[in-house]
Amino acid sequence: MKHKSFFWFVLPSSIAMLLFIFFPILSVLLQSVFTEHEQVIKEVRNCGPFGCQTTTSIDQEATAALREAEPLGRFVGLGVYFDRGHLALSEVSQLWRESAGLGAFFDRLLNLPFYKAIAFTLTYTFVVTPLTIVLGFVIAVAVNSAARAIRGPLIFVSLLPFIITPLVGSLVLFWMLDARGIIGSAMQVLADDPDLSVKASTPLMWTMLMVYGVWHSAPFAFIVYYAGLQTVNQDTLEAAMVDGASRWERIRYVVIPHLLPITTFIALIQLMDNFRVFEPIVSFSAQAHATSLSWAIYNDLSGETRQLSSAAATSFLTIIGVAILLSPVIVRTYRDFTRK
Amino acid sequence: MSFMKTTALASVLAVTGTAVLADCPVTEGRLSIVGNEFPAIQSVAALAQECMGEGTEASANLTADHQKINVAGMSGNPAEYTSAIIANSSIVALINEDVIRPLDDLIAEYGQDIPDLQKITIDGQVMAIAFMANAQTLVYRADVLEQIGVDVPETYEEVLEAAEMIREQGIMENPLGGAYAAGWNLAEEFVNMYIGHGGQFYEAGTPQVAINNEAGVKTLEMLKALSEYMNPDYLTHDSNATSAEWEAGNVALMNMWGSRSGVLMDEEGSEPQVYENTKVAPPLTVDGGDIPASTLWWDGWTVAKNISDEDAAATFQALAHATSPALLNDKTMGEAVWLIDGYEPAPVNEGVLAATRMGTQPYPMLPYQGLLHTALGDNIADYLQGNETAEQALSDIEAAYTAAAQEKGFLN
Amino acid sequence: MASKAFRKPLPLQALLIFFLVVWVVMAAFPFLWTVWGSFKVEGDFFSKADWANAIFGTRTRAETGDLFTGQGYYGAWVQEEFWRAALNTLIVCAATVMISLTFGTLGAYALSRSTYRYAFWFLIIALIFRAMPPITLVSGYLPVFFDWNLWGHLPTAIIVLVAINQPFTLWMLHSFFNNIPKDLDESAMVDGCTRFQAFRHVIVPVMWPGVITTALFSFLLAYNDFAITALVLSKENQTMVPKIASFLGTTQTKGNVMFAVAAVVSVTAPLFVMIMFFQRQIVSGLTAGAVKG
């Protein structure tokens, strides 16, 4: 394709992404290397319906002068990236020097917010992604083997976990999993432990978040695989049968290679989405037990005083994380592309 | 932070003012409100919009996400919003960003009737007009306390004793409740309890945090002692879930928002035995202190800085009218503890009124308190779950706060 | 399908059916529970006292005198005028889907036909763009939107959703166009068509299956979005999900959870119709190779 026609074809899409993704990313990058000015604090006397108090406030006049001088704020370089809320370089090296052994080191490392978040984020990503792919595949095979007449409703039902607004979907599940909810009660009976409570224990909470993650995104993998199964070449399958290939061999040498590109696509999207896990942590009020990078951004932005630089730095660390995570898939795509 | 010199609220509430209505309808200018969404604020916003006459613009954007958009929406010139309705914790963000204007000139011109009680004065300038109050106080089940034969607790120590008796006598397994969900709610409980222990959050007059002390440790220990009597899921229970536990009859004593007590006493959601015996009491004290382990909150309105004088005057008049006695009628009377002349409190509001009488401190209105609140919310759960010592948790909080305060320019 | 290659031995067939039943229960149970519960009062829906109350409607009977109540539906649709939000969502979704697919098909077609290396990097950069958490992006938009008076309007939300949706749309459609043989449009160009005419007359007629599949995902993204619509739209332009969130209450005040439940249940019905209608296309779309890499 000629450069010129390529340009015109991708123009609308590029403008949209440039305006609403690229420029904001640049401003986020700036935000992460600049922090707010030194705030000049003065003592003030405040009065209100509950009486008077001496407290402090920002001296707006003095701060305004600072703002004028440097409209972007103080340049701190990678300072925010390395502070305690993020990579915590000095804290980590101090821990390294002080800790008795590796175990103690990791134990205390997980006390730092970034490492605590990344521990759950990575566990979640690497558990949920493969399970989603496997579950989606099995559902696709099962639906594909069902009678034609009921496939439509089956597809709809299978898509339900993906369709219901997570806001309410997780609210319902949250109640169900409560110690007195229907699933919670059932688990107590099954485990023969009347005090069992999912929400009170960190390992169970992690498990529940991951089960929810698989449940919620399996429909995506399912629909993609289901479609892929429709295109498996019948002739090749029959030929393989004639050659005496067993059922397993046919799946191994015909079906799976056919579905491999699809798997790459699902893995790409799922790795990225799972790395950005956020909604279930908020909906299940799970932050005492599990935090993630995206949750950390949300937490920075939703306090009474919003920490924009901190959120910006975490966002960039997320992008870097995604890039590392996807690099094998990207390399594969590159090979495919150059072969074209 | 120092002390409260006067607590005029309770006495003034009884006095009826000389109410002269603001000039309605306003004939020129623009009113655009951003604020939280609950019935009391909706009533205020609706009345303010009614006050805007023909040829004027009036709109209100009431949403739970108001804090995420109010600063951005007031920073432009002219600002999208001419007024933000905020609370004492959230006005700080607007003052920090310098997006709201002092109201003294407008008061002189249009607002002589506004009682001093409603004026929020910062450094000698009126920055907001408060119209309602809230606080967390004790809610108890009269029948359960009668059964175990104790009086209504006045201190947290008595609460612990009562809880032990209720559990021992097999009346309830987890007799205590509380919004202890990790995050904002849990941090709020810490702030309450720490104030009750007489603690100071910062070194006097500076943003330097100072909570890793005896009061801090005692506060955490008390929170943990209370949590032993709560549903094991307490770290996921926000005020919605806590209220649901109450209505299910699983809880006999809890510290709850005054604004949420009313719905616990109505017939919806619970058995007669629960709602008929739900009673409200003053906030609790702790560790022999006099100051209740609770904080007072107000909601009030502000006027944006980056708007024309005409719009500011219109906004001021409309909102002054909307928070004058003209607001109060049979429907609105029960929506909140109004700070407005002519308000007649219902029994359910006794808790909040008692809180003001007892000299409960307002939630600290400091530029950096929000950062400490976030740090508290993120780090207390580790201690409550037994993952680390109280001292470690407190030093984590201090470190997290310090990193955030450095980033925001409060500390170097 | 009667092919011998697809006939499964009985135990395997039984296993699959068993699995399917388990999955259907897992997928549908929470939803069916929600449907059932939407006709109860809150005390039963979140029955903290005893989960069996949710089934027998103990509180519903005590409070309304009946086993079922339509209070949630009445509250959401009549009292809170949920239809306004539903209408806004319809506008946002329809516009988002149409614009993203127009932009997406053009871009993805070019990406699939270009052999230059920059096309690859274009795709990779789009992928990296997708990694940016939307909440961070939104906090960057707000000051600009307020300054330029763009905040609060439906078109603003639509174009933001389109932009955020582009990377996914491009990737999915790109793989789909890869599977449409190049000979088709190239022979048209040999016959004297311009590139755009070839696209318009040769590719467009055969691309629908893939486009419809991509449309489903675009639609669901716009439909379920909360992060953007909650912060960018004003009250009168509010869409469904933020409206549902506003039913849930705040720290200091109780909400109307049953309104939210009823609202969610009632908007699932049109989705059911939509999926039934499009399910054949969805599958054939993917079949035609939307995701074959």
- In b/e form, how buried is each residue of C12-29, taking b as 16+ CB within 10 angstroms? eeeebeeebeebbebbbe
pLDDT at residue C291, as a whole number? 43
B38 shares its domain with B117? yes
The answer to whether residue B4 is domain-embedded is no
Write out chain B residues lying below 8 Å of C151, CB-based.
73, 80
Higher pLDDT, B157 or A167: B157
- Nearest CB to A36: which of B9, B361, B409? B409
CB distance B268–C43 less than 8 Å?
A: yes
Minimum mean pLDDT range among A103-112, C46-55, C112-121 = C46-55
pLDDT band of A319, cuts 50, 70, 90: very high
Structure tokens given for C160: 């933001």
State the sign of the Cα–Cα–Cα–Cα dihedral C150, C152, C154, C159: positive
Which among C20, C48, C248 is the nearest to A142, CB-wise? C20
Average pLDDT over residues B139-159: 95
pLDDT band at B403 (very low <50, low <70, confident <90, very high): very high
Q: Are B296 and B89 in contact (CB under 8 A)?
A: no
Asked if residue B395 and residue B249 are part of one domain, the reply reads: yes
Note whether A233 and C289 are within 8 A (CB): no
- Two structure tokens written together for B10: 């309770």
Please write the tens of the pLDDT for every residue from C240-270. Answer: 988 988 888 777 778 888 898 898 888 888 8
Query: Looking at the complex, does the CB of residue C195 fall below 8 Å from at least one CB of chain A?
Result: yes
**Residue pLDDT, tens place only, C151-209:** 989 999 999 999 999 999 998 888 778 878 888 888 889 988 888 999 998 888 888 87
Residue B108 neighbours by CB under 8 Å, 6+ apart = none
* Confidence grade of residue A186 (pLDDT, cut at 50, 70, 90): confident
Closest chain B residue to the Cα of C47, Cα to Cα: B248
ipTM: 0.90
Shortest distance between the Cα of A37 and any Cα of chain C, in A, equals 19
pLDDT of residue B9: 46
Length of chain B: 412
The Cα-based distances of C282 to B179, C86, C176, C221, C278 in angstroms read 46, 24, 13, 16, 6
Tokens of residue C293, six digits: 């890499």
Task: Answer yes or no: is B104 within a domain.
Answer: yes
CB contact at 8 A, B160 and B225? yes
Question: Where does the pLDDT of residue A264 fall: very low under 50, low under 70, confident under 90, or very high at 90 and above?
Answer: confident
Q: Are B107 and B56 in contact (CB under 8 A)?
A: no
Do B62 and B124 lie in one domain? The reply is: yes
B266/A236 Cα distance (integer angstroms): 71
Closest Cα of chain A to C6: distance in Å?
8
Domain annotation covers residue B2: no
Q: Is 60 exceeded by the pLDDT of residue A311?
A: yes
| pLDDT cut 70: percent of chain A above it | 100
Chain A neighbours among B 225-254 (CB < 8 Å)? 231-233, 235-238, 241, 248
Q: Out of C42, C231, C253, name the one closest to residue B68 (CB).
A: C231
Between residues C48 and A302, which one has the greater pLDDT?
A302
- Whether chain C has a CB inside 8 Å of the CB on B277: the answer is no
Domain enclosing residue B236, as ranges? 136-295+364-407
Structure tokens at C34: 């929600």
The reported pLDDT for the residue numbered B19 is: 41
Q: Are B242 and B255 in contact (CB under 8 A)?
A: no
| Residue at token pair 């939803």 | C31
| Amino acid present at A129 | T
Distance CA A294, CA A298 (A): 6
Q: Is the distance from CB of B123 to CB of A45 less than 8 angstroms? A: yes
Give the per-residue pLDDT at C283: 65
**Mean pLDDT value across residues B364-386:** 94
pLDDT of residue A173: 83
How much is the pLDDT for B38?
Answer: 85
Check residue C290 and give its pLDDT: 41
Beta-ladder partners of B285: B155
Residue B59: give its domain's CATH number.
Answer: 3.40.190.10
Across the interface, do A305 and B9 touch by the CB < 8 Å criterion? no
- Same domain? B181 vs B255: yes
Distance from CA of A129 to the nearest CA of C (A): 16
pLDDT score at B14: 39
**Of the candidate ranges B202-216, B269-283, C204-218, the one whose mean pLDDT is the lowest:** C204-218
B3 — pLDDT class (breaks 50, 70, 90): very low
Chain A CB within 8 Å of residue B283 CB = no
* pLDDT at B113 exceeding the cut of 50: yes
Q: In this structure, what are the phi and psi dihedrals at residue C248, rounded to the nearest 5 degrees?
A: -85, -10
Cβ within 8 Å, pair A228-C292: yes
Give chain C positions within 8 Å (CB) of A172.
30, 33-34, 37, 261
State the nearest Cα–Cα gap between A103 and chain C, in angstroms: 33
Q: CB distance C48–B267 less than 8 Å?
A: no
CA–CA dist A15, C103 (Å, integer)? 10
Interatomic CA distance for residues A210 and A124, integer angstroms: 6
Q: Which chains touch C (3 or more CB pairs under 8 A)?
A: A, B
Q: Is the pLDDT of residue C279 over 80?
A: no
pLDDT at B217: 97
Q: How far apart are the first and last CA of chain A?
A: 13
- CA–CA min distance B392, chain C (Å): 29
Closest among B323, A231, A78 to C287, alpha carbons compared: A231
| A29 in contact with C, Cβ within 8 Å | no
Nearest CA in chain C to B237: C251
- Which residue, among B11, B302, B143, has the nearest Cα to A49 in the 3D structure? B11
* pLDDT at res. A263: 87
Question: Rounded to whole angstroms, how far apart are CA atoms C186 and B117?
Answer: 80
- Percent share of chain A, pLDDT over 90: 40
Q: Nearest-CA neighbor of A63 among C185, B97, C138, C2?
A: B97
Q: How confident is the model at residue B378 (pLDDT cuts 50, 70, 90)?
A: very high
For C106, what's the count of Cα atoms within 13 Å in the CB-facing half-sphere? 18
Among the partner-chain residues B365, B388, B409, the one whose CB lies closest to the CB of A46 is B365
Shortest CA distance from A283: residue in chain B = B236
Domain boundaries in chain C?
Answer: 81-145+160-232+269-290
Residues B90, B204 within the same domain: no
Task: Please report the sign of the dihedral spanned by the C-alpha atoms of residue B362, residue B368, residue B373, residue B376.
Answer: negative
pLDDT in tens, C88-110: 999 999 999 999 999 999 999 99
**A320-329, B160-169, C21-30: range with highest mean pLDDT:** B160-169
- Which tokens hold the place of C144? 């600009």
Burial class (CB in 10 A: 0-12, 13-18, 19+), C190: exposed
Are the C-beta atoms of residues A85 and A308 closer than 8 Å to each other?
no
Ranked by mean pLDDT, which of A56-60, A301-305, B97-101 comes out on top?
A: B97-101
Could you say which of 1.10.3720.10, 3.40.50.1100, 3.30.310.50, 3.30.160.70 is the CATH number of the domain covering C81-145+160-232+269-290?
A: 1.10.3720.10
Work out the average pLDDT over A156-165.
85
Give the distance, in angstroms, between the CA of residue C131 and the centroid of all CA atoms in the same chain.
19
Check residue C287 and give its pLDDT: 52
Higher-pLDDT residue of A256, B215: B215
Of residues B28, B99, B38, B10, the one with CA closest to residue B353: B10
Per-residue pLDDT band at C282 (split at 50, 70, 90): low
Which residue, A167, A219, A259, A20, is CA-closest to C217?
A219
pLDDT in tens, B305-353: 999 999 999 999 999 999 999 999 988 888 889 999 889 888 888 899 9
Residue C293: is its pLDDT beyond 90?
Answer: no
Global pTM value: 0.91
CB C138 within 8 A of CB C227: yes
B77, part of any domain: yes
Query: What b-and-e string marks burial along B203-220, b requiring 16 or more CB atoms within 10 Å of the CB?
Result: eeeebebebbeebbbbbb
Reported as a pLDDT band with limits 50, 70 and 90, residue A149 is confident
Structural domains of chain B, count: 2
Q: Looking at this protein, which amino acid is placed at residue C206? A: V
Interfacial C residues in 240-269 facing B (CB < 8 Å): 242, 245-246, 248-255, 257
CB contact under 8 A, A142 and C171: no
| Domain boundary residue, one of B362, B377, B395 | B362
Q: Which domains are delineated in chain A?
A: 38-75 (no CATH), 112-339 (1.10.3720.10)
Q: Is residue B3 part of a domain?
A: no
Q: Is the pLDDT of residue A19 over 90?
A: yes
Evaluate whether A293 touches A243 at the Cβ level (below 8 Å): no
Residues B140 and B220 in one domain: yes
B32, B105: one domain = yes
> Which residue has better confidence, A15 or B4?
A15
Task: Verify that B330 and B382 share a domain, yes or no.
Answer: no
Q: Provide the chain A residues 148-167 that lie in CB contact (below 8 A) with chain B.
A: none
Residue B301, SS3? strand
What is residue C6's predicted lDDT score, i.e. its pLDDT?
54
Amino acid identity of residue B369, one-letter, is Q
Taking CA–CA distances from C44, the nearest residue in chain B reads B269
